[in-house]
Amino acid sequence: MSALALLDYASVLVFALTGALVASRAQLDLVGFAFIACLTAVGGGTVRDLLLDRHPVFWVGQPDYILIAVGAAVLVFFTAHLVESRYSWLIWLDSFALSIAVAAGTGAALSLDQSGIIVVLMGVTTGCMGGLMRDVVCNEVPLVLKQGELYVSCAFAGALTAVVATRLGLEGLPALALCAAICWALRAGSLIFGWRLPVYKARPPRQ
């Protein structure tokens, strides 16, 4: 199994767990759990593959991804009540899923010899779209857009790191590992230490 396939499997599993946790907060039934878990797990990768014109889309060519997501949904459906502070588990699992998915998307674009800007955009898309779909469908405040936290910036920094590392001769799995590490470190720093970028502050109109 290739490194890219491993990254896709890992991101599908962890993102599916986050989707199921959000479904538990929304008090959905088992089918709802499975739907949200699958949407979250494959949403970002699907958008990536469509934009890169990769056929078939990764989970269509390998249905095991859907089985993994459904399995994660069933597991959480029967165990979520045992988990204290499900939101805390959600944001930390999501941080791992984000970093893995960004690396997977970045690696997919690099494998197709895309330009640097496309590689970065595919990394960000793969990392962010699934979680955004999950939160919008379940009527949650999207973690992607939550004020006072770094999220998309983490994905951008991780993907850009991989591009720079590749240009400097560090290719393959080491570059993708560095991508995931940078992405997760920034996200964790934002959650623990409150790292953030300046936000726009409205000013009164000039007379």
Alpha helices of 52-115 — where are they, by DSSP H?
58-61, 64-79, 86-111
Give Cβ neighbours of residue 201 (< 8 Å, ≥ 6 apart): none
Is residue 25 over pLDDT 80? Answer: yes
Structure tokens at 76: 């959480």
39-74 per-position pLDDT tens digit: 999 999 999 999 999 999 999 999 999 999 999 999
Is residue 207 over pLDDT 60? Answer: no
Judge contact between 26 and 32, C-beta under 8 A.
yes
Model-wide pTM > 0.85 = yes
